[in-house]
Structure 1
Amino acid sequence: MTASTTPETVPGSDLPPAAYRMTSHEILALLAFEPGAGTALTRRVLGLAELPDDHDLVRAGVGTLNIRDTVEINGEEVTLLAEAKVLARIFSTSSEWFDITRIGSQYASPSYLVDSPAGRAAVFLRPLSEYLCLPLRDDVDLFDFVQAQVDEAVATLGSEGGGIVTSRRYSVRTQEPVVANIKIHEAGPHQLASAPLDEDGQLGVRDLEPAEQPGLVVRGLLAAAS
Protein backbone atom coordinates (compact mmCIF):
# COMPACT_ATOMS: atom_id res chain seq x y z
CA MET A 1 0.00 0.00 0.00
CA THR A 2 1.75 3.12 -1.14
CA ALA A 3 -1.01 5.67 -1.67
CA SER A 4 -0.39 9.13 -0.29
CA THR A 5 -1.71 9.43 3.25
CA THR A 6 -0.35 11.90 5.78
CA PRO A 7 -0.23 11.55 9.60
CA GLU A 8 -2.86 14.26 9.85
CA THR A 9 -5.43 12.21 7.91
CA VAL A 10 -8.26 10.95 10.12
CA PRO A 11 -11.69 9.55 9.33
CA GLY A 12 -14.31 12.15 8.51
CA SER A 13 -16.82 13.22 5.95
CA ASP A 14 -14.17 13.70 3.25
CA LEU A 15 -12.35 10.38 3.02
CA PRO A 16 -9.21 9.89 0.91
CA PRO A 17 -9.77 7.89 -2.29
CA ALA A 18 -7.51 5.16 -0.88
CA ALA A 19 -9.74 4.58 2.18
CA TYR A 20 -11.17 1.07 2.36
CA ARG A 21 -13.95 -0.05 4.71
CA MET A 22 -13.92 -3.52 6.25
CA THR A 23 -15.94 -5.36 8.88
CA SER A 24 -14.46 -7.51 11.64
CA HIS A 25 -15.65 -10.69 9.92
CA GLU A 26 -13.89 -9.63 6.72
CA ILE A 27 -10.64 -9.20 8.67
CA LEU A 28 -11.12 -12.69 10.15
CA ALA A 29 -11.55 -14.02 6.63
CA LEU A 30 -8.35 -12.32 5.44
CA LEU A 31 -6.39 -13.80 8.34
CA ALA A 32 -7.78 -17.24 7.59
CA PHE A 33 -6.73 -16.96 3.94
CA GLU A 34 -3.11 -16.02 4.56
CA PRO A 35 -1.98 -17.08 8.06
CA GLY A 36 1.49 -15.87 8.92
CA ALA A 37 3.87 -14.87 11.68
CA GLY A 38 1.83 -11.78 12.54
CA THR A 39 -1.65 -13.35 12.48
CA ALA A 40 -1.84 -13.96 16.24
CA LEU A 41 -0.67 -10.41 16.98
CA THR A 42 -3.30 -8.89 14.68
CA ARG A 43 -6.04 -11.00 16.24
CA ARG A 44 -4.91 -10.01 19.72
CA VAL A 45 -4.76 -6.27 19.06
CA LEU A 46 -8.13 -6.16 17.29
CA GLY A 47 -9.87 -8.31 19.92
CA LEU A 48 -10.39 -11.30 17.62
CA ALA A 49 -8.12 -13.80 19.34
CA GLU A 50 -10.90 -16.05 20.66
CA LEU A 51 -12.58 -16.66 17.29
CA PRO A 52 -11.37 -19.77 15.37
CA ASP A 53 -10.53 -19.78 11.67
CA ASP A 54 -13.64 -21.80 10.84
CA HIS A 55 -16.02 -19.56 12.78
CA ASP A 56 -19.28 -18.59 11.06
CA LEU A 57 -18.01 -15.00 10.93
CA VAL A 58 -15.16 -16.12 8.68
CA ARG A 59 -17.60 -17.62 6.18
CA ALA A 60 -19.71 -14.47 6.40
CA GLY A 61 -16.57 -12.44 5.74
CA VAL A 62 -15.88 -14.33 2.54
CA GLY A 63 -19.41 -13.59 1.40
CA THR A 64 -19.00 -9.87 2.08
CA LEU A 65 -15.65 -9.80 0.27
CA ASN A 66 -17.35 -11.44 -2.68
CA ILE A 67 -20.02 -8.73 -2.74
CA ARG A 68 -17.26 -6.12 -2.75
CA ASP A 69 -15.57 -7.90 -5.70
CA THR A 70 -12.37 -8.39 -3.71
CA VAL A 71 -12.35 -12.18 -4.04
CA GLU A 72 -12.54 -14.44 -7.08
CA ILE A 73 -14.43 -17.70 -6.64
CA ASN A 74 -13.71 -20.55 -9.04
CA GLY A 75 -15.42 -23.70 -7.84
CA GLU A 76 -13.94 -24.49 -4.43
CA GLU A 77 -11.00 -22.13 -4.95
CA VAL A 78 -11.23 -18.61 -3.53
CA THR A 79 -8.57 -16.00 -4.40
CA LEU A 80 -8.14 -12.61 -2.75
CA LEU A 81 -8.01 -9.57 -5.01
CA ALA A 82 -7.15 -5.85 -4.83
CA GLU A 83 -7.27 -4.23 -1.37
CA ALA A 84 -8.21 -7.48 0.33
CA LYS A 85 -5.05 -9.20 -0.91
CA VAL A 86 -2.81 -6.32 0.22
CA LEU A 87 -4.42 -6.03 3.65
CA ALA A 88 -4.28 -9.79 4.19
CA ARG A 89 -0.52 -9.69 3.65
CA ILE A 90 -0.05 -6.73 5.98
CA PHE A 91 -2.21 -8.19 8.76
CA SER A 92 -0.74 -11.70 8.55
CA THR A 93 2.88 -10.51 8.57
CA SER A 94 2.42 -7.68 11.09
CA SER A 95 5.45 -7.10 13.26
CA GLU A 96 4.13 -4.18 15.28
CA TRP A 97 0.85 -2.47 16.19
CA PHE A 98 0.07 0.81 17.90
CA ASP A 99 -3.31 1.35 19.58
CA ILE A 100 -4.34 4.93 20.42
CA THR A 101 -7.83 5.04 21.96
CA ARG A 102 -9.75 8.17 22.93
CA ILE A 103 -12.16 7.49 25.80
CA GLY A 104 -14.74 10.16 26.56
CA SER A 105 -17.67 10.24 28.95
CA GLN A 106 -20.00 8.50 26.49
CA TYR A 107 -17.83 6.90 23.82
CA ALA A 108 -14.51 5.30 22.92
CA SER A 109 -12.73 5.91 19.61
CA PRO A 110 -9.89 3.44 18.89
CA SER A 111 -7.33 3.96 16.16
CA TYR A 112 -4.50 1.65 15.16
CA LEU A 113 -1.26 1.61 13.20
CA VAL A 114 0.17 -1.60 11.79
CA ASP A 115 3.66 -2.14 10.42
CA SER A 116 4.81 -5.20 8.50
CA PRO A 117 7.28 -6.28 5.81
CA ALA A 118 4.37 -6.10 3.35
CA GLY A 119 3.46 -2.49 4.14
CA ARG A 120 1.77 -0.36 6.75
CA ALA A 121 -1.65 1.12 7.35
CA ALA A 122 -3.76 3.15 9.74
CA VAL A 123 -6.94 1.46 10.91
CA PHE A 124 -9.82 3.29 12.61
CA LEU A 125 -12.63 1.44 14.37
CA ARG A 126 -16.02 2.98 13.63
CA PRO A 127 -19.53 2.12 14.91
CA LEU A 128 -20.97 -1.34 14.16
CA SER A 129 -17.50 -2.96 14.07
CA GLU A 130 -16.54 -1.27 10.83
CA TYR A 131 -12.84 -0.64 10.27
CA LEU A 132 -11.65 2.17 8.03
CA CYS A 133 -8.25 1.23 6.58
CA LEU A 134 -5.97 3.93 5.19
CA PRO A 135 -2.71 3.18 3.40
CA LEU A 136 0.42 4.95 4.58
CA ARG A 137 3.32 6.01 2.41
CA ASP A 138 6.55 4.18 2.96
CA ASP A 139 8.21 7.39 4.17
CA VAL A 140 5.64 8.11 6.92
CA ASP A 141 7.19 7.89 10.39
CA LEU A 142 4.80 5.88 12.55
CA PHE A 143 5.87 7.76 15.66
CA ASP A 144 4.93 11.04 13.95
CA PHE A 145 1.49 9.53 13.43
CA VAL A 146 1.25 8.39 17.07
CA GLN A 147 2.27 11.82 18.33
CA ALA A 148 -0.28 13.58 16.13
CA GLN A 149 -3.08 11.20 17.13
CA VAL A 150 -2.38 11.61 20.86
CA ASP A 151 -2.24 15.41 20.66
CA GLU A 152 -5.46 15.55 18.62
CA ALA A 153 -7.23 13.23 21.07
CA VAL A 154 -6.04 15.19 24.11
CA ALA A 155 -7.20 18.47 22.57
CA THR A 156 -10.61 17.01 21.70
CA LEU A 157 -11.18 15.56 25.16
CA GLY A 158 -9.99 18.79 26.75
CA SER A 159 -12.80 20.61 24.97
CA GLU A 160 -15.34 17.96 26.00
CA GLY A 161 -14.75 18.01 29.74
CA GLY A 162 -11.98 15.43 30.05
CA GLY A 163 -11.31 11.73 29.49
CA ILE A 164 -8.45 9.31 28.87
CA VAL A 165 -6.17 8.64 25.91
CA THR A 166 -4.67 5.17 26.08
CA SER A 167 -1.60 4.34 23.98
CA ARG A 168 -0.12 0.89 23.51
CA ARG A 169 2.70 -0.51 21.41
CA TYR A 170 2.52 -4.23 20.60
CA SER A 171 5.31 -6.28 19.07
CA VAL A 172 5.71 -9.88 17.94
CA ARG A 173 8.92 -9.89 19.97
CA THR A 174 7.29 -9.23 23.36
CA GLN A 175 4.38 -10.66 25.32
CA GLU A 176 3.17 -7.48 27.00
CA PRO A 177 2.53 -4.13 25.29
CA VAL A 178 4.26 -0.90 26.25
CA VAL A 179 1.63 1.40 27.78
CA ALA A 180 1.45 5.18 28.14
CA ASN A 181 -1.90 6.70 29.15
CA ILE A 182 -2.90 10.34 29.51
CA LYS A 183 -5.78 11.38 31.78
CA ILE A 184 -7.24 14.71 30.74
CA HIS A 185 -8.81 16.85 33.44
CA GLU A 186 -11.17 19.72 32.81
CA ALA A 187 -9.25 21.66 35.45
CA GLY A 188 -5.75 20.99 36.69
CA PRO A 189 -2.78 19.23 35.07
CA HIS A 190 -3.07 16.21 32.84
CA GLN A 191 -1.71 12.97 34.31
CA LEU A 192 0.56 10.37 32.73
CA ALA A 193 0.35 6.69 33.66
CA SER A 194 3.25 4.54 32.44
CA ALA A 195 6.01 2.16 33.50
CA PRO A 196 7.74 1.58 35.83
CA LEU A 197 5.07 -0.07 37.95
CA ASP A 198 4.51 1.06 41.51
CA GLU A 199 4.70 -1.18 44.59
CA ASP A 200 1.13 -2.38 43.95
CA GLY A 201 1.96 -3.45 40.40
CA GLN A 202 0.09 -0.51 38.85
CA LEU A 203 1.37 1.97 36.29
CA GLY A 204 3.21 4.86 37.88
CA VAL A 205 1.30 8.16 37.74
CA ARG A 206 2.65 11.69 37.58
CA ASP A 207 1.35 15.12 36.60
CA LEU A 208 2.48 16.49 33.27
CA GLU A 209 4.23 19.83 33.41
CA PRO A 210 2.48 22.69 31.54
CA ALA A 211 5.32 22.81 29.00
CA GLU A 212 5.16 19.08 28.25
CA GLN A 213 3.41 18.11 25.02
CA PRO A 214 1.38 14.92 25.64
CA GLY A 215 1.99 13.45 22.19
CA LEU A 216 5.72 14.00 22.45
CA VAL A 217 5.84 12.43 25.92
CA VAL A 218 3.93 9.34 24.76
CA ARG A 219 6.07 9.12 21.62
CA GLY A 220 9.24 9.09 23.71
CA LEU A 221 7.97 6.33 26.01
CA LEU A 222 6.77 4.08 23.18
CA ALA A 223 9.88 4.68 21.07
CA ALA A 224 12.16 3.80 23.99
CA ALA A 225 10.90 0.23 23.77
CA SER A 226 12.58 -0.30 20.37
Structure 2
Amino acid sequence: MAQNSDQYNFYKVLSVQSNAQEPDIQKAYEEATASLRPEDMPAEERKAAILALVAADAAKLVLLDSKKRSLFDARLNEVRKIQTEKEKIEAKRAGKLQEQQSIEEDEKLKNVSLQLDAANAALSDFYYDQLFAAAKTRKFESVPPDNVMEWISSQRADLLRKAEQKGRRVSFRIDWRGFPAIQEMRKKRGEEIDAIVDQLVKDCCIW
Protein backbone atom coordinates (compact mmCIF):
# COMPACT_ATOMS: atom_id res chain seq x y z
CA MET A 1 0.00 0.00 0.00
CA ALA A 2 2.34 2.70 -1.24
CA GLN A 3 1.69 6.05 0.36
CA ASN A 4 3.32 9.45 0.37
CA SER A 5 4.36 10.49 3.89
CA ASP A 6 4.04 14.18 2.93
CA GLN A 7 0.28 13.64 2.97
CA TYR A 8 0.54 13.04 6.72
CA ASN A 9 3.24 15.56 7.60
CA PHE A 10 2.22 18.25 10.08
CA TYR A 11 5.37 20.23 9.33
CA LYS A 12 4.26 20.45 5.70
CA VAL A 13 0.76 21.51 6.76
CA LEU A 14 2.18 24.64 8.40
CA SER A 15 5.21 24.95 6.11
CA VAL A 16 7.69 24.94 9.00
CA GLN A 17 11.01 23.20 9.55
CA SER A 18 11.24 20.12 11.76
CA ASN A 19 13.15 22.14 14.38
CA ALA A 20 10.58 24.97 14.47
CA GLN A 21 9.92 26.45 17.90
CA GLU A 22 6.67 27.75 19.38
CA PRO A 23 6.87 31.34 17.99
CA ASP A 24 7.53 30.02 14.48
CA ILE A 25 4.71 27.48 14.74
CA GLN A 26 2.25 30.04 16.06
CA LYS A 27 3.15 32.51 13.31
CA ALA A 28 2.90 29.83 10.62
CA TYR A 29 -0.48 28.75 11.96
CA GLU A 30 -1.83 32.30 11.83
CA GLU A 31 -0.57 32.74 8.27
CA ALA A 32 -1.99 29.39 7.16
CA THR A 33 -5.44 30.09 8.58
CA ALA A 34 -5.71 33.83 7.89
CA SER A 35 -7.55 33.34 4.61
CA LEU A 36 -9.55 30.30 5.72
CA ARG A 37 -12.99 31.70 6.49
CA PRO A 38 -15.41 28.90 5.58
CA GLU A 39 -18.51 30.86 6.57
CA ASP A 40 -17.63 33.58 4.06
CA MET A 41 -16.92 31.19 1.21
CA PRO A 42 -19.18 29.79 -1.50
CA ALA A 43 -20.64 26.39 -0.65
CA GLU A 44 -18.45 24.60 -3.21
CA GLU A 45 -15.27 25.93 -1.55
CA ARG A 46 -16.36 25.44 2.05
CA LYS A 47 -15.46 21.77 2.40
CA ALA A 48 -11.83 22.22 1.29
CA ALA A 49 -11.44 25.24 3.56
CA ILE A 50 -12.80 23.40 6.58
CA LEU A 51 -10.54 20.40 5.99
CA ALA A 52 -7.52 22.70 5.61
CA LEU A 53 -8.48 24.55 8.79
CA VAL A 54 -8.86 21.33 10.76
CA ALA A 55 -5.49 20.10 9.47
CA ALA A 56 -3.85 23.37 10.56
CA ASP A 57 -5.50 23.09 13.99
CA ALA A 58 -4.22 19.53 14.36
CA ALA A 59 -0.72 20.49 13.24
CA LYS A 60 -0.53 23.29 15.78
CA LEU A 61 -1.80 21.07 18.60
CA VAL A 62 0.68 18.30 17.80
CA LEU A 63 3.74 20.47 17.22
CA LEU A 64 3.18 22.44 20.42
CA ASP A 65 2.72 19.29 22.52
CA SER A 66 6.11 17.74 23.28
CA LYS A 67 4.79 14.20 23.76
CA LYS A 68 2.66 14.18 20.63
CA ARG A 69 5.40 15.82 18.61
CA SER A 70 7.94 13.25 19.77
CA LEU A 71 5.63 10.41 18.73
CA PHE A 72 4.91 12.06 15.40
CA ASP A 73 8.62 12.62 14.73
CA ALA A 74 9.40 8.98 15.50
CA ARG A 75 6.79 7.71 13.05
CA LEU A 76 7.75 10.18 10.35
CA ASN A 77 11.45 9.34 10.70
CA GLU A 78 10.70 5.62 10.51
CA VAL A 79 8.91 6.14 7.20
CA ARG A 80 11.79 8.20 5.84
CA LYS A 81 14.37 5.62 6.92
CA ILE A 82 12.57 2.76 5.18
CA GLN A 83 11.86 4.92 2.13
CA THR A 84 15.59 5.63 1.82
CA GLU A 85 16.34 1.90 2.03
CA LYS A 86 13.77 1.19 -0.66
CA GLU A 87 15.22 3.85 -2.95
CA LYS A 88 18.69 2.33 -2.57
CA ILE A 89 17.37 -1.09 -3.59
CA GLU A 90 15.55 0.39 -6.57
CA ALA A 91 18.65 2.33 -7.64
CA LYS A 92 20.76 -0.83 -7.45
CA ARG A 93 18.23 -2.74 -9.54
CA ALA A 94 18.02 0.07 -12.07
CA GLY A 95 21.71 -0.38 -12.83
CA LYS A 96 21.19 -3.96 -13.97
CA LEU A 97 19.76 -5.42 -17.12
CA GLN A 98 16.23 -6.69 -16.63
CA GLU A 99 17.23 -10.32 -17.08
CA GLN A 100 19.87 -9.93 -14.34
CA GLN A 101 17.36 -8.85 -11.71
CA SER A 102 16.91 -11.92 -9.51
CA ILE A 103 13.91 -13.30 -7.68
CA GLU A 104 15.84 -12.68 -4.45
CA GLU A 105 16.13 -8.99 -5.29
CA ASP A 106 12.44 -8.88 -6.17
CA GLU A 107 11.60 -10.38 -2.79
CA LYS A 108 13.86 -7.93 -1.00
CA LEU A 109 12.08 -5.04 -2.69
CA LYS A 110 8.71 -6.54 -1.87
CA ASN A 111 9.63 -6.99 1.81
CA VAL A 112 10.90 -3.45 2.24
CA SER A 113 7.77 -2.20 0.47
CA LEU A 114 5.65 -4.05 3.03
CA GLN A 115 7.68 -2.49 5.84
CA LEU A 116 7.13 0.92 4.31
CA ASP A 117 3.40 0.25 4.06
CA ALA A 118 3.27 -0.62 7.76
CA ALA A 119 5.22 2.48 8.77
CA ASN A 120 3.05 4.70 6.58
CA ALA A 121 -0.08 3.13 8.04
CA ALA A 122 1.10 3.97 11.57
CA LEU A 123 1.85 7.54 10.50
CA SER A 124 -1.53 7.84 8.75
CA ASP A 125 -3.38 6.52 11.81
CA PHE A 126 -1.68 9.07 14.03
CA TYR A 127 -2.34 11.90 11.57
CA TYR A 128 -6.04 11.21 11.25
CA ASP A 129 -6.50 10.59 14.97
CA GLN A 130 -5.23 14.14 15.49
CA LEU A 131 -7.51 15.51 12.77
CA PHE A 132 -10.55 13.92 14.39
CA ALA A 133 -9.51 15.29 17.78
CA ALA A 134 -8.99 18.78 16.35
CA ALA A 135 -12.34 18.70 14.55
CA LYS A 136 -14.12 18.08 17.85
CA THR A 137 -12.74 21.32 19.30
CA ARG A 138 -13.97 23.59 16.50
CA LYS A 139 -17.54 24.39 15.50
CA PHE A 140 -18.73 25.72 12.15
CA GLU A 141 -22.00 27.61 11.90
CA SER A 142 -23.08 26.25 8.54
CA VAL A 143 -21.78 22.68 8.84
CA PRO A 144 -22.83 20.10 11.45
CA PRO A 145 -19.96 18.37 13.31
CA ASP A 146 -20.98 14.98 11.90
CA ASN A 147 -20.47 16.30 8.38
CA VAL A 148 -16.93 17.40 9.17
CA MET A 149 -16.13 13.99 10.65
CA GLU A 150 -17.59 12.32 7.58
CA TRP A 151 -15.47 14.50 5.28
CA ILE A 152 -12.31 13.58 7.18
CA SER A 153 -13.21 9.88 7.03
CA SER A 154 -13.91 10.15 3.31
CA GLN A 155 -10.60 11.90 2.66
CA ARG A 156 -8.76 9.19 4.57
CA ALA A 157 -10.57 6.38 2.75
CA ASP A 158 -9.81 7.94 -0.63
CA LEU A 159 -6.09 8.20 0.13
CA LEU A 160 -5.99 4.62 1.39
CA ARG A 161 -7.82 3.36 -1.69
CA LYS A 162 -5.34 5.02 -4.03
CA ALA A 163 -2.40 3.72 -2.01
CA GLU A 164 -3.76 0.18 -2.05
CA GLN A 165 -4.19 0.26 -5.82
CA LYS A 166 -0.61 1.45 -6.27
CA GLY A 167 0.64 -1.15 -3.80
CA ARG A 168 -1.15 -3.94 -5.67
CA ARG A 169 0.60 -2.95 -8.88
CA VAL A 170 4.03 -3.15 -7.24
CA SER A 171 3.26 -6.47 -5.54
CA PHE A 172 1.66 -8.06 -8.60
CA ARG A 173 4.53 -7.01 -10.84
CA ILE A 174 7.04 -8.67 -8.52
CA ASP A 175 4.90 -11.81 -8.15
CA TRP A 176 4.38 -12.21 -11.88
CA ARG A 177 8.07 -11.82 -12.58
CA GLY A 178 8.82 -14.45 -9.95
CA PHE A 179 7.11 -17.27 -11.83
CA PRO A 180 9.74 -19.74 -13.15
CA ALA A 181 8.27 -19.69 -16.66
CA ILE A 182 8.36 -15.90 -16.74
CA GLN A 183 11.94 -15.92 -15.43
CA GLU A 184 12.99 -18.30 -18.19
CA MET A 185 11.37 -16.21 -20.92
CA ARG A 186 12.92 -13.02 -19.55
CA LYS A 187 16.39 -14.46 -20.12
CA LYS A 188 15.71 -14.44 -23.86
CA ARG A 189 13.19 -11.67 -24.35
CA GLY A 190 13.53 -9.50 -21.24
CA GLU A 191 12.04 -6.18 -22.33
CA GLU A 192 9.24 -7.76 -24.35
CA ILE A 193 8.20 -10.08 -21.51
CA ASP A 194 8.38 -7.29 -18.93
CA ALA A 195 6.12 -5.16 -21.12
CA ILE A 196 3.60 -8.00 -21.27
CA VAL A 197 3.77 -8.48 -17.50
CA ASP A 198 3.31 -4.75 -16.92
CA GLN A 199 0.20 -4.79 -19.10
CA LEU A 200 -1.16 -7.79 -17.21
CA VAL A 201 -0.54 -6.01 -13.92
CA LYS A 202 -2.26 -2.89 -15.19
CA ASP A 203 -5.29 -4.89 -16.35
CA CYS A 204 -5.48 -6.84 -13.08
CA CYS A 205 -5.16 -3.84 -10.78
CA ILE A 206 -7.84 -1.47 -11.99
CA TRP A 207 -10.25 -2.24 -9.12
Q: Indicate the TM-score class for this superposition, using the shorter chain for normalisation.
A: under 0.3
- TM-score normalised by the chain length of structure 2: 0.27
Higher relative contact order, structure no. (Cα contacts within 8 Å, ≥ 6 residues apart) = 2
- TM-score normalised by the chain length of structure 1: 0.25
